[in-house]
Amino acid sequence: MIGSGSVRWRALLACLVAGGAARPFAATTTPPCAAFDHEHRAWTRLLEQYVRDGRVDYGGLHRDARPALSAYRDALSAVSRTCYADWTREQRLAFWINTYNASAVELVLEHYPVRSVRAIGWVPGSAGELSLDDVEHEHLRKEFGEPRIHFAIVCASVSCPSLRSEAYRAADLDRQLDDQARRFLADPTKNRLDRTARTFRLSSIFKWFREDFEKAAGSLPAFVARYVDPATAAALGETDARIEFLDYDWSLNGK
């Protein structure tokens, strides 16, 4: 079953994909471009309160913060195509990452309590009905060619990268994305890098989106080497280095 919020976001993305970007909904009045908060402060306030070490307090959000989350998503969906066209690449990329993450949280809240996103009919990364897949494939991947987004967008599952306790912001975006890549690869629950045995058991994210990483660095080991310690990076470059992929845990990333 797909909730009303998901229907809303399918309509949003249909408009954006067809139009090139950014008027999600028709409105009688459009907020001035300068009114949009590129710091995404409203989203940061929610993340600071309800996310700890990547774990999300969905119960608290469901009980106390749905109006605040809805208001933030309304601000995202009020952006006009004209305003979006004048934004920098970093402002656009931060907009889509935050849109994806806020929408994933809202999707969980629509069905809460739930143990897994699979229980609500969404397998992230698939070519399914939900517009979150369009955000990922039609915008984040196609428009930007930025492989680090795979460490930033969070599909509400345990094996996903950790949701930051702050919004992504244009001014800090490169630092935030680098930090996400390093944290994700350093997390032994998501990647296991045994340089002594030359065996690197990576998240399935690296399998599903391998072409994105190879396009950026020439090979998967070369990409991973950018975000690990020098000794591990050297081991990744050895001819006998072996890459394997871990199973994915789709359990909810709740507290």
Cα separation, 1 vs 6, in Å, equals 10
Is residue 142 in some structural domain? yes
Tokens encoding 190: 């998501």
In single-letter form, the type of residue at position 237 comes to: G
More confident residue, 253 or 121: 253
Residue 119 lies in a domain: yes
In a domain, 188, yes or no: yes
- Looking at the chain, how many residues does it have? 255
Q: How confident is the model at residue 29, as a pLDDT?
A: 58
pLDDT tens track for 146-161: 999 999 999 999 999 9
Q: Report DSSP state, residue 123.
A: -
- The number of distinct structural domains making up the chain is 1
- Does residue 149 lie in a domain region? yes
Domain annotation covers residue 252: no
44 falls within a domain: yes
Output the pLDDT for position 190: 98
The mean pLDDT of 247-252, rounded to a whole number, is: 96
Which pLDDT value is given to residue 142?
Answer: 74
DSSP 8-class letter at 35: G
- Digit-coded pLDDT (tens) for 159-202: 999 999 999 999 999 999 999 999 999 999 999 999 999 999 99
Question: β-strands 55-56, 51-52: how paired?
Answer: antiparallel
In a domain, 125, yes or no: yes
Task: Give the residue numbers spanning the domain of 184.
Answer: 4-30+38-245
pLDDT of residue 41: 98
Is residue 105, in this structure, part of any structural domain at all? yes
Sheet holding 192-194, edge to edge: 192-194, 199-202, 242-245
Cα torsion angle, 47, 13, 138, 251, sign = positive
pTM recorded for the entire structure: 0.86
What is d(CA 70, CA 251) in angstroms, rounded to the nearest whole number? 24
Structure tokens at 26: 């028709």
pLDDT in tens, 89-141: 999 999 999 999 999 999 999 999 999 988 887 656 543 434 566 666 666 77
